[in-house]
Amino acid sequence: MFIEQRTRRWPGARISGDGFVKEGALLLPTMTTTSAPHDFIAPQSTDSRSPCPALNALANHGYLPRDGKNINLFQLIGALRRAYGISLPLASILSAGAIYLCGHGTKLDLAGLQKHDVIEHDGSLVHRDLNETGGTEAPFPDSELIDAIIKSSDGHVVTLENLIQHKQIRESRVNINSLADYPNGLLAHFSRGEPVLVVAVMGESNTGISVERARTWLGEERLPEGFVPRQTTGLLGLRSGTNRLITEVDALHAQIASERRNE
Ligand code: HEM
């Protein structure tokens, strides 16, 4: 147990492009809390955060440095494995890729992942895209987008099918109507792989993720109480899931385009 003094980010605060809370930010008063090493602590105004709910949650729970800065390869791999049950090969590829593409030297600040069209991409599930924010990156999730996902569910479980429909809607807003419309294959695979990760890593079953968990993890970037990954998520599973999603999102785009032509 240790004592921490933190200033919490108010949910309505405006975020600047570097991922730190700046203009218009309303900060709650500094609080003194007693917490265990992996308790949730909301980020401070100077902490670095990314557009990835999974990595932000790891920093919010102290699996990664809580300030989100100067993360090395071994910290990143270790956190992905411990907290989410990601296999060693997959954790290594994701972590090395992130530091190589978005890091500084051998380290990564989470805000570095905001670089547009490097790993971050348009057609995001729960983050506003650049054309919606007027050019400012949005490193924190948007409650309306999360509500839209939950509204499309049966009120209990957000299924992969719900996420496929939401992805199609988000992509069509930015004129992505097939995989080929992404700037490159890497971005396309990242984008279409993210819904697969939601269900594989955070879902209570292969069917989907509970509404409650979707709100906590995607919306608050907070791990569910007592969370233990139910399986190991590896490269092969992610690849086959992503391939399925690629096919299904493209089929949905084609179906909707054909319905519009026939109207
Ligand atoms: C080193 C590992 C990882 C890196 C570098 C990374 C990086 C990123 C980045 C840059 C984005 C933003 C994409 C966008 O523009 O929407 C993102 C989104 C996302 N990531 Fe990660 N990620 C990692 C691991 C994970 C893991 C393990 C999970 C699942 C447990 C995950 C789940 C997601 C989800 C669901 C999104 C979509 C957010 C949205 O579309 O609004 N990521 N990730």
Q: Could you tell me the residue ranges of all domains in the chain?
A: 2-262
Q: Is 124 in the pocket of ligand 1 (CB under 6 A)?
A: yes
More confident residue, 162 or 26: 162
Count of positions (residues) in the chain: 263
Q: How many angstroms separate the alpha carbon of residue 52 from the centre of ligand 1?
A: 4
Q: pLDDT of 188-236, one tens digit each?
A: 999 999 999 999 999 999 999 999 999 999 999 999 999 999 999 999 9
Fold of 2-262: Chloroperoxidase (1.10.489)
Is residue 26 over pLDDT 60?
no
Please state the separation of Cα 79 from the chain's center in Å. Answer: 15
Rounded Cα–Cα distance for residues 42 and 64 (Å) = 13
Rounded Cα–Cα distance for residues 31 and 11 (Å) = 16
Is residue 178 over pLDDT 80?
yes
Task: Compute the mean pLDDT over every residue in the chain, rounded to the nearest whole number.
Answer: 89
pTM of the complete model: 0.89
Q: pLDDT of 150-159, one tens digit each?
A: 999 999 999 9
| Atom 31 (ligand 1) nearest CA | 54
Which of 3-17, 26-40, 204-218 is most confident? Answer: 204-218
- Residue 225: count other Cβ atoms within 10 Å of its Cβ: 7
Is residue 132 over pLDDT 70?
yes
Is residue 16 over pLDDT 80?
no
In the chain, the percentage of residues whose pLDDT exceeds 70 is: 87
Q: Is 145 in the pocket of ligand 1 (CB under 6 A)?
A: no
Give the amino acid at 157: V
Is residue 244 over pLDDT 80?
yes
Which residue of 48, 49, 55 sits with most ligand 1 atoms within 8 Å of its CB, as the best mutation to test the pocket?
55
Q: pLDDT of 46-90, one tens digit each?
A: 999 999 999 999 999 999 999 999 999 999 999 999 999 999 999
Q: Is 60 helix (H, G, I), strand (E, B) or coil?
A: helix
Is residue 32 over pLDDT 60?
no
More confident residue, 131 or 63: 63
**Considering only 9-23, 41-55, 183-197, which range has the smallest mean pLDDT?**
9-23
Which residue of 50, 174, 194, 197 sits with most ligand 1 atoms within 8 Å of its CB, as the best mutation to test the pocket?
194
Is residue 12 over pLDDT 50?
no
pLDDT of residue 35: 72
The DSSP secondary-structure symbol of 3 reads E
Confidence of residue 7 (pLDDT cuts 50, 70, 90): very low
Give the amino acid at 172: S
Is residue 146 over pLDDT 90?
yes
Beta-carbon-side half-sphere exposure of residue 154 (alpha carbons within 13 Å)? 9
The two three-digit tokens of residue 7, written as one number: 């200033």
Rounded Cα–Cα distance for residues 38 and 104 (Å) = 26
Confidence of residue 34 (pLDDT cuts 50, 70, 90): low
**Burial status of residue 49 (CB atoms within 10 A of its CB: 0-12, 13-18, 19 or more):** buried
